[in-house]
Structure 1
Amino acid sequence: MTQELYQKAMKFAGEKHSDQQVPGTTANYLLHIANVSMEVLMAYNFDHSFDIDFAIQTAILHDTLEDTTANYEELKNEFGEPIAKALQALTKDENLSSKEERMTDSLHRINQLQKEVGLVKIADRITNLQTPPPHWTIEKISNYIEEAKLIAKSIKNKNEYLHTRLYQKVEAYQKNLKNQ
């Protein structure tokens, strides 16, 4: 992996997410980005059959299109069209009427691209399956579990390590239903 690519993407993401925090915490959003990137790096330790440069840049930048002022053209100019397309697939289309439609559409678009895009989506959900914020209802936790299962079911054959890890995280996360 080229450190310069990592540093360029991290600087861009850090600037774009500078005022954002990890939901339910006071931590800067770079914590989430670092955790998603770490999942991708761990997956690479077990399976070198993917482009780590492409995957790690996508991991670092995965929320810039959805959650910041960055736009497709800016990302394309800075990181190239393949990265911009990957980030576009990882971004839910807000023009669709329901959350379920937005997720299904995004998963479909992810599956049309390189496997690295799918493994970033899996890594993102693994990272998000931490203890839910205290204000989350049982219904919200249950819906999040179902969405994680949909991701696992929809995104297959991308990376066995991450796929197994996602199922393990879903199983562990289900214990939060009993704790509410």
Structure 2
Amino acid sequence: MAFATEAHGRVGQVRKYTGEPYINHPIEVMGIVRTAARYTDVMLAAALLHDTIEDTTVTRDDVEREFGSDLADMVMELTDQSTAGNRAKRKAAEAVRLSTISAEAQTVKLADLISNSASIIEYDPRFARVYLREKSQILELMTAGDPGLYTRAVAQLDAARKLLDRR
């Protein structure tokens, strides 16, 4: 937790809509992972570190040096790899990639989707429509994670669509 807090703090990262310390999101993701039927310490640590390589100056080598290759590998599984094309193409490619990551990493990603969806729907309904389409693409392909979290993510998606349709 200290490593992730320092990494996100060093680049001044805060939550987009609330301005709260960014570390609150990884902590929430870790808490959601804890509700999975099966989780490991590596999954909990990956939940805390899942955005460090993508959003800070931390590298895979930094994570491996501090915590070992198993955790570094899982954090890399959770790090967005798409860079080419417009947003729609990048997100579609990323959805396909996510379908190939380990079941453990998919469980962490499901927790991340659940956490992110709540704030996006609450604070940015216009962008939420785009985000929910992307989330739907991911959920169609990424089916190896924890079944309970998968069901929760799908239910959240359905409820959010209904809520946005009423607006």
- TM-score range for the pair, normalised by the shorter chain length: 0.7 to 0.9
What is the root-mean-square deviation in Å for CA atoms of aligned residues?
2.1
- In the comparison of the two structures, how many residue pairs are matched? 164
Greater alpha carbon shift after TM alignment, 79-88 vs 61-70: 79-88
C-alpha separation in 2, matches of 1:137 and 1:169: 14
2:65 maps to: 77
Q: Is the 8 A contact 1:89 1:106 kept in 2?
A: no
**1:138-169: CA deviations, max 9, x gaps?**
3x322111111112111113211100100111
Q: Deviations over 1:106-145 (max 9, x none)?
A: 444444443111111111010011143787463x322111
Distance 1:135 1:118, change over 3 A: closer
Partner of 1:13: 4
1:24 and 2:34 matched: no
Give the corresponding residue for 1:4: none
The range that moved more, 127-136 or 76-85, is 127-136
Q: Is the contact between residue 95 and residue 137 of structure 2 (CA under 8 Å) also seen in structure 1?
A: no
Q: 1:149 aligned to 2:106?
A: no
Aligned counterpart, 2:30: 37
Per-residue deviation, 1:79: 1.5
Task: Provide the residue aligned with 1:161 in structure 2.
Answer: 148
Match in the other structure for 2:76: 88
Is the partner of 1:132 in helix, strand or coil? Answer: helix
What does the per-residue CA deviation read over 1:59-98, in whole Å, with 9 as the maximum and x for residues that have no partner? 0100000001101111111121222222222222353223
Summarize deviations over 1:29-73 as a string: whole Å, max 9, x none: 111111101110011xxx23x4x1111011010000000110111
Q: Quote the offset at 1:28 in angstroms.
A: 0.6
SS in 2 for 1:156: coil
TM-score (norm 2): 0.86
The alignment's TM-score, normalised by the length of structure 1, stands at 0.81
Unmatched runs of 5 consecutive residues or more in structure 1: 1-9
Structure 2 residues without counterparts, runs of 5 or longer: none
* 2:42 match: secondary structure: helix
Corresponding residue to 2:104 among 92, 113, 116: 116
Contact 2:110 2:145 in 1 (8 A): no
Using the alignment, how far apart are the partners of 1:80 and 1:23 within structure 2? 31
Partner-residue secondary structure (3-state), 2:157: helix
Distance in 2 (alpha carbons) for counterparts of 1:11 and 1:136? 30
Q: What is the letter of the counterpart of residue 154 of structure 2?
A: Y
